[in-house]
């Protein structure tokens, strides 16, 4: 795949960890620490690609999962590429893996980034209806600072069409959400779950 402008994208990787206990399959989630970006949100382990530390995005997914959950590398089994999520300068490669653990108590999460870890049975997402919403974003050629316009794109001076002299609408974007006892599982995480459940329907 040759993505034009790829060097400008935020590049990351996510692991979709699956834990099997008593013949039941669970997703492992993390509740992010309150004081970090996107604090208190629920997500899968993952993070930004590091061109020094990582040979590829699979390395990123493994490294971030080890850092965030405290799991040993040899306990991450059957790692497979699942798909790539691309959205507005965001590029995320997703991988599935089986975690060779019998209890979540075997993990020692990173307190600075993760408030706690928890499991949710995969069947929960098959039985509980996903909610779907939409948002509309805007592009603006300026920002307002102290009541004055600060032009980011001087569209008038550049003699661009009048359409670009003021904020303009972007297309609607779908937002997916599952309600859980730990809070809303939504956004990219919910989108990945949606695709996973559809792919592995029994």
- What integer best gives the mean pLDDT of the chain? 92
Q: Convert the pLDDT of each residue in 33-42 to its tens digit.
A: 888 776 689 9
- How far is residue 139 from each of residues 38, 86, 88, 100, measured CA to CA in Å? 22, 19, 12, 46
Average pLDDT of the residues in 63-71: 96
pLDDT at 202: 56
- Phi-psi region at 112: left, alpha or beta (left = phi > 0; alpha = psi -120 to 50): alpha
For residue 17, pLDDT over 90 is answered with: yes
| Assigned domain for 176 exists | no
In a domain, 185, yes or no: no
Put the strands of the sheet holding 183-186 in their side by side order: 131-139, 168-180, 183-186
Specify the higher pLDDT residue, 50 or 169: 50
- Does residue 63 lie in a domain region? yes
Domain contains 48: yes
Is 173 within the bounds of a domain? no
Tens digit of each residue's pLDDT (9 = 90 or more) over 182-200: 999 999 999 999 999 998 8
pLDDT at 201: 73
Per-residue pLDDT band at 159 (split at 50, 70, 90): very high
Query: Is there a domain that residue 135 lies in?
Result: no
Give domain status of residue 180, yes or no: no
pLDDT of residue 40: 81
Looking at the whole model, is its pTM more than 0.85? yes
Number of domains present in the structure of the chain: 1
Lowest pLDDT segment from 49-53, 106-110, 168-172, 174-178: 168-172
**Host domain of residue 55:** 6-122
Q: What is the CATH number of the domain that holds 59?
A: 3.90.79.10
- Pair 101, 75: CB distance under 8 Å: yes
Residue 197 inside a domain? The answer is no
């Amino acid at each position: 795949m040759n993505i034009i402008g790829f060097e400008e994208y935020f590049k990351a990787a996510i692991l979709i960890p699956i834990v099997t206990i008593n013949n039941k399959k669970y997703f492992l989630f993390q509740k992010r620490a309150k004081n970090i970006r996107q604090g208190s949100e629920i997500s899968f382990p993952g993070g930004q690609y590091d061109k020094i530390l990582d040979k590829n995005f699979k390395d990123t997914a493994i490294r971030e999962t080890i850092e965030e959950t405290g799991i040993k590398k040899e306990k991450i089994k059957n790692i497979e590429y699942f798909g790539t999520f691309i959205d507005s300068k965001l590029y995320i490669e997703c991988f599935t893996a089986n975690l060779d653990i019998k209890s979540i108590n075997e993990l020692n999460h990173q307190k600075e980034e993760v408030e706690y870890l928890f499991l949710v049975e995969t069947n929960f997402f098959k039985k509980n209806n996903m909610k779907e919403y939409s948002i509309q974003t805007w592009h603006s050629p300026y920002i307002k600072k102290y009541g004055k316009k600060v032009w980011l794109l001087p569209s008038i001076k550049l003699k661009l069409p009048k359409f670009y002299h003021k904020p303009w609408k972007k297309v609607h974007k779908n937002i997916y959400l599952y309600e859980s006892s730990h809070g809303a599982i939504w956004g990219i995480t919910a989108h990945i779950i949606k695709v996973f459940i559809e792919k592995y329907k029994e």
